[in-house]
A = this chain, B = another copy of it.
């Protein structure tokens, strides 16, 4: 009896009504990923330690496995996946001759990080990833397919307005190189820009960011140009940014902008409305991994909760595992994070308490067989149906339907059976009517639609 059964920090669990919402989100995500031509895969929970650490992952955050009796697994040291990209890279490297390229896959699985749990940050959480892996060249249209699929999916999740911030690494790096900021200094400056939103609440002046840049560069003019560049992200319109770029002809910078513009226009063709995209020159998504387009998505008004969907282009997915180079572009919806942010917007509702549509009451042992036949018929017609297991007072059974949130209650007693009808109580609108027992499934399906 002294066993601890409370939830483990960072490993949240849903009540049934919360699970309905999460399941519905997963279904919508899956449907949208399929619609855009992505194929499902799942990878194993565990990877070899050497695979997990190949990208320079943080050892402290990776969970390793042992047997409770102390033994380490017999063939090699194993750990839990901390994202879905390293497993994808290993999967593509392993199966590279069996896949058709471009390989478009989606993967909706939980990942594990041994970090300290905080608001919106868990140790076990769902990610929903899409990636397009090429063999040889991968056109910029691939990046657009990723971003527009993320848009369509988030839009259908229907939680309110969000903004996809896009950038091209060459645009940012090209700009900094133009200022003579190179190599080590370049990495450090990008790292400061990456953290600017955490550093500063003042999104017009970025005073702390400015101070840090000044420390690094010691050149007020350069710092103010960087801040000016960052501030373009506040405007986010192509026209504003084009003005800034036209005054220049540095090729990497120009080239990055050209690609960014191309992606922007493709996205409009694919039906992404302008107000959902923002060109944001300060987005870099870390340093080593991404090499082209990058993006981050925030729910409007809830930017401080962090990005709910991000991704980008990488030149060489499989580089740590095999010689062949596979360029790719991907995006991820952080489903657990997203649900926690939507929770904060108070747009999540758990009003649906069950997906069960009908409760057939258990009135009398004599009519049990008849009732079970109705249950069988309803289920066959695809109606989610529960049968009350005990003979007990009708009021108790109806109370159960109410507690459980089941909408339709069917009552089949002696009187009804003699007249070939069934009494149907709608618990939501609190109406009761009699329906023909032979067409019970048809009538309930019609009721459910209306």
| Chain A residues with a Cβ under 8 A of chain B | 1, 3-9, 11-16, 19-20, 22-23, 31, 34-37, 39-54, 59-69, 71, 73, 75-76, 78-80, 90-91, 93-95, 98-100, 102, 104-105, 110, 112, 114, 124, 132, 137-139, 141-142, 145, 152, 266, 269-271, 320-323, 354-356, 359, 368-369, 372-373, 375-376, 379-380, 382-387, 389-390, 400, 403-404
Question: Which chain B residues lie closer than 8 Å to A48 at the CB level?
Answer: 3-4, 8
Q: Are A64 and B59 in contact (CB under 8 A)?
A: no
Query: CA–CA, A91 to B5, complex, Å?
Result: 8
Q: Which of B44, B79, B142 contacts A68 (CB 8 A)?
A: B79
Q: Which of B9, B124, B389 contacts A145 (CB 8 A)?
A: B389
Which label, helix, strand, loop or mixed, suits the secondary structure of the A interface? mixed
Number of chain copies forming the complex: 2
Q: Are A76 and B4 in contact (CB under 8 A)?
A: yes
Q: Are A16 and B403 in contact (CB under 8 A)?
A: no
Q: Are B64 and A68 in contact (CB under 8 A)?
A: yes
Q: Are B387 and A145 in contact (CB under 8 A)?
A: yes
Which residue of chain B has its CB nearest to the CB of A140? Answer: B389
Query: CA–CA, A397 to B299, complex, Å?
Result: 38
Question: Which chain B residues lie closer than 8 Å to A47 at the CB level?
Answer: 8
Q: Are B35 and A104 in contact (CB under 8 A)?
A: no
Q: Are B356 and A95 in contact (CB under 8 A)?
A: no
From known contacts A46-B124, A65-B64, A404-B100, infer whether A34 and B320 are also in contact, taking CB-CB under 8 Å.
no
Question: Which chain B residues lie closer than 8 Å to A91 at the CB level?
Answer: 13
Q: Are B46 and A8 in contact (CB under 8 A)?
A: yes
Query: CA–CA, A141 to B371, complex, Å?
Result: 12
Report A209 CB to chain B, min CB distance, Å: 32
Query: CA–CA, A141 to B392, complex, Å?
Result: 14
Q: Which of B3, B44, B142, B266 contacts A124 (CB 8 A)?
A: B44
Query: CA–CA, A7 to B98, complex, Å?
Result: 15
Question: Which chain B residues lie closer than 8 Å to A53 at the CB level?
Answer: 68
Known: A13-B43, A36-B385. 12 other contacts (CB 8 A): A1-B322, A3-B50, A8-B44, A15-B98, A34-B356, A35-B385, A59-B68, A60-B71, A62-B67, A63-B66, A65-B65, A145-B387
Question: Which chain B residues lie closer than 8 Å to A20 at the CB level?
Answer: 39-40
Q: Are B269 and A323 in contact (CB under 8 A)?
A: no
Question: Which chain B residues lie closer than 8 Å to A403 at the CB level?
Answer: 100
Q: Are A42 and B14 in contact (CB under 8 A)?
A: yes
